[in-house]
Amino acid sequence: MYTADYLEKFSRKAFEKMGCSPEDAATATKVFIAAELYGLPSHGLTRIKDYFQLWKANRINIRPNIRIVHESPSTAVVDGDGAIGMIAATRSMEIAIEKAKSAGTGWVATRGSNHYGLASYYTRMALEHDMIGISMTIANPLVAPTWSVTPMLGTNPIAVAVPAKNQPAFSADFATTAIARGKLAIMAKKGEKVPLGFVQDKDGVPSDNPDILKEGGSILPLGGPVESGGHKGYALSAIVDIFSAVLSGANFGPFCPPSLAYLPVLEEKVGEGTGHFFGAMRVDAFQEKEAFLEQMDLWIETFRNARPAKGRERVLIPGDLERETYERISKEGIHVIAPIQQEMKEIADQLGIEFEIRD
Amino acid sequence: MYTADYLEKFSRKAFEKMGCSPEDAATATKVFIAAELYGLPSHGLTRIKDYFQLWKANRINIRPNIRIVHESPSTAVVDGDGAIGMIAATRSMEIAIEKAKSAGTGWVATRGSNHYGLASYYTRMALEHDMIGISMTIANPLVAPTWSVTPMLGTNPIAVAVPAKNQPAFSADFATTAIARGKLAIMAKKGEKVPLGFVQDKDGVPSDNPDILKEGGSILPLGGPVESGGHKGYALSAIVDIFSAVLSGANFGPFCPPSLAYLPVLEEKVGEGTGHFFGAMRVDAFQEKEAFLEQMDLWIETFRNARPAKGRERVLIPGDLERETYERISKEGIHVIAPIQQEMKEIADQLGIEFEIRD
């Protein structure tokens, strides 16, 4: 078990050793640690290893010149200059928040970035400014459009956070796919079959094989097949792709650069790096601030008081489970599985810093 | 069969006879006729009857003072003053477009409105200004949050239109539910069963009964049960509800006013009327205009060239089917089924205008 503080110091040192400025190292670290605290280790420490390997392969820019390349009163396009995604994304969300202060809302499309990790990290940045936060990103193509077999879209998550007064904030963060890649990997390890409607084989025939992605298969968009609304998930994922990668001038859809160093760099490019999209809306650009926050409390209370289905104890507001996990892990400490401890130890050894293996 | 021109003249006269200004009558009519041309009669002429009945019940304001009640450089809250939804919505989208001209983007939350019909009608208004259009609305509660049995949310559609250069625009418009209410009605008429995962009974048990809504049942959000991502559809629908009804100060979720005159007025209210949310983003607030439009062409061509699944001939871009239908019906004329012709005839008789029953 580790404290957040221990892992934070390790991560900051590791990124500083790679050449990051202390500010950038701290910025990236905050996102990794938040993912661990929210109980999402797939976006936590293991991403430090991914970035370490991209850095060794000279595929990220450790001293990027992140800058606005186009803007209007409420918008900006940010060029991440090949930065670690968490750094380009944090800077972009800060710009969205600044724009919102003067224009009411701020919208930033980011290009030249890389995998940005936890989508909801950026939306939560807006909350302390009494703003609604919005964040979305493209990701490596695994999802086929409806009626197609070509993986063209990533898991393309959407996150939205809305502040309330006494109630904890509404915080939604979800992939626009029927199933997460990580869940397929777990099913494969357990020897389980995938329920029909989540993945298809290389010909577009429904499959129950959790390893089907390795055989030319693809994940279906949220909603599954067209009969249960999969075309809606396809549209939603396409919107994320257009906002994140066409508005910004990044590599859209199938051209999204691989976020893992063992995947080859794509030969064809149609823009710069990976793309994200961020929004910040001042609640008092719509309502008197207190009135809005009180109404959001009423909204949350109303939905929390919906009658639970048979066998369920309560109805959740998006963000409830993650917040409860955050509170628990913050108290108990962060459990890091042995293989990831080993990864961190190897990084530490190569960079000449300390990392302690623990039970 | 009718020409669009014939139905347009009839609709305008009908609304003028109810007391609408000629401008407002023309505005509402355009949305009804567009729905017919896009092959969506559930949002077409039959809504004239719904509004005629609401007017007779004195539940809409035929001479509304639609006005901005709060604003910032990129935002506005519009009070529809009880207007016909299509009139409040068109005015709101015009304001979003005006805001975008000066601020780069424009965002309007509308309250005191009613059922606004075809969501994509408003997003398409943005296209001619080289803007991306966004539109969403709440609707009468039929959908239960994940793990709940209380219908709290409407079909809450999201529409997004993105302009291109030589390719036809991208135009997505979808309800955030697993299945449309209209489809359930058709299944009931045909004596068909509903596949599991779309609706549940009053206890939250999965049901195959297309009439389950009449027995206290509810529709599941997009994604169906939690195992196939239904909690994502719930989050998405909740976001539509918060943007449309909390940001605007309308009646959110279960308090959405009934859009049909035979349903009683709700006793409890938490805001003013029905709420919508609109966005307009100037593409040149992000990229040089021509560069963006050409990149959108490339995006559309890339996705259209994805390999079709076995048994499918092509891969669709959102909006393709609706556009093809629009072109076909514009040529062939609008087929109005006998019961709706009868409805129009009755309205005509009561208002003292002409409507010709045809084969």
> d(Cα B62, Cα B25) in Å, to the nearest integer?
10
CATH number of the domain located at residue range(s) B64-177+225-318 in this protein = 3.30.1370.60
Please name the member of A70, A295, A316 whose beta carbon is closest to the beta carbon of B246. Answer: A295
Tell me the pTM: 0.98
Note whether A91 and A72 are within 8 A (CB).
Answer: no
**Residues of chain B contacting A286 with CB distance shorter than 8 Å:** 70, 75, 77, 109, 247-248
User: In chain B, whose CA is at the least distance from the CA of A288?
Assistant: B70
pLDDT of residue A189: 86
Exposed, middle or buried by CB within 10 Å (0-12, 13-18, 19+), for A83? buried
CB contact (8 A) between residue A107 and residue B281: yes
Q: pLDDT digits over A277-326, tens only? A: 999 999 999 999 999 999 999 999 999 999 999 999 999 999 999 999 99
> d(Cα B231, Cα B229) in Å, to the nearest integer?
5
- Residue B158, H or E segment: strand B158-162
The mean pLDDT of A247-267, rounded to a whole number, is 95
pLDDT of residue B189: 86
Note whether B211 and B234 are within 8 A (CB).
Answer: no
A38: left (phi over 0), alpha (psi -120 to 50) or beta: alpha
For chain B, first and last CA: distance in Å? 7
**Residues of chain A contacting B310 with CB distance shorter than 8 Å:** 149, 203-205
pLDDT of residue B129: 98
ipTM above 0.85, yes or no: yes
Q: Chains A, B: CB contacts under 8 A, how many?
A: 291
Q: pLDDT digits over A163-222, tens only? A: 999 999 999 999 999 888 878 988 988 899 999 899 999 999 999 999 999 999 999 999
Note whether A210 and A194 are within 8 A (CB).
Answer: yes
pLDDT of residue B272: 98
Residue type at A198? Answer: F
- Fold entry, domain A61-177+228-318: Ribosomal Protein S8; Chain: A, domain 1 (3.30.1370)
Asked whether the domain spanning A179-219 has the same topology as the one spanning A61-177+228-318, the reply is: no
Q: What are the Cα distances from residue B337, in Å, to A146, A247, B13, B244, B295?
A: 31, 43, 21, 33, 42
Q: What are the Cα distances from residue B22, in Å, to A145, B15, B57, B239?
A: 44, 8, 22, 35
Using the predicted structure, report yes or no on whether residue A268 has a pLDDT greater than 90.
yes
CB contact (8 A) between residue B312 and residue A147: yes
CB contact (8 A) between residue A295 and residue B158: no
Half-sphere exposure of B81 (CA within 13 A, CB side): 12
Exposed, middle or buried by CB within 10 Å (0-12, 13-18, 19+), for B186? exposed
**Residues of chain A contacting B170 with CB distance shorter than 8 Å:** 238, 242
pLDDT of residue B185: 84
Using the predicted structure, report yes or no on whether residue A110 has a pLDDT greater than 90.
yes
Out of 3.30.60.50, 3.40.50.150, 3.30.70.20, 3.60.21.70, which CATH number does the structure's domain A179-219 have? 3.30.60.50
- Fold entry, domain A1-58+333-359: Hypothetical Oxidoreductase Yiak; Chain: A, domain 1 (1.10.1530)
- Fold entry, domain B1-58+332-359: Hypothetical Oxidoreductase Yiak; Chain: A, domain 1 (1.10.1530)
Please name the member of B204, B286, B309 whose beta carbon is closest to the beta carbon of A149. Answer: B309
Tell me which residue of A182, A216, A218, A172 sits closest to A198, measured CA to CA. Answer: A218
**Residues of chain A contacting B178 with CB distance shorter than 8 Å:** 223, 228-229
The single residue listed with the structure tokens 């509004």 is B51
Annotated domain spans of chain B: 1-58+332-359, 64-177+225-318, 179-219
Beta strands in B44-137 (DSSP E): 67-72, 75-79, 105-113, 131-137
Residues 6+ away with beta carbon under 8 Å from A296:
A162, A163, A164, A165, A167, A170, B242, B246
**DSSP summary character for residue B58:** T
Interface probe with A: pick from B97, B171, B176, B303, most Cβ of A within 10 Å:
B303
Please name the member of A104, A235, A296 whose beta carbon is closest to the beta carbon of B246. Answer: A296
Q: pLDDT digits over A41-99, tens only? A: 989 999 999 999 999 999 999 999 999 999 999 999 999 999 999 999 999 999 999 99
Residue type at B73? Answer: P
The tens place of each residue's pLDDT in chain B, 359 residues long, gives 999 999 999 999 999 999 999 999 999 999 999 999 999 998 999 999 999 999 999 999 999 999 999 999 999 999 999 999 999 999 999 999 999 999 999 999 999 999 999 999 999 999 999 999 999 999 999 999 999 999 999 999 999 999 999 999 999 999 999 888 878 988 988 899 999 899 999 999 999 999 999 999 999 999 999 989 999 999 999 999 999 999 999 999 999 999 999 999 999 999 999 999 999 999 999 999 999 999 999 999 999 999 999 999 999 999 999 999 999 999 999 999 999 999 999 999 999 999 999 97
CB contact (8 A) between residue B296 and residue A246: yes
